[in-house]
Structure 1
Amino acid sequence: MNGSAALVDNANASQSRRVFWDQDVYQLELERIFSRCWLMLGHDSLVPKPGDFITTYMAEDRVILSRQ
């Protein structure tokens, strides 16, 4: 897949069903979205006290979110 423009219909505010199951779309999202920008891992209420932590994912990478 070279791009994602064919997957979006702006005039009808819809998108192709391929975005939910296509491996090429997933790989494109990993490359163009998840590897290039900040990601919200969780709300601060999930780790309210110093020393609290949770484990979660950033795309395919397992990470620890902690409060210092």
Structure 2
Amino acid sequence: MVLLDSSAMWRAEYDADERCLRIWFTGDDRPYGYRDVSEDVFDGLCSADSPGRYFAAHIRDRYEVIPPP
């Protein structure tokens, strides 16, 4: 689990076996999942100066979304 310094999202987790990225957005206590994400993309999100901009450029609309349960 990684806590993100972002106004848009506050937490991210990555499951390497499933290649699944889970992101908790601000104001929501349930994660959105993204399928078939590489670990490099997760690392990029965690190290980005702006996780929100990184998400918009590298994740949003590029991976299948698993909505919160």
Which category describes the TM-score, using the shorter chain as reference length?
under 0.3
Higher helix proportion (structure 1 or 2): 1
Q: RCO (CA 8 Å, sep 6+): is it higher in 1 or 2? A: 2
Normalization by structure 2: what TM-score? 0.24
Normalization by structure 1: what TM-score? 0.24
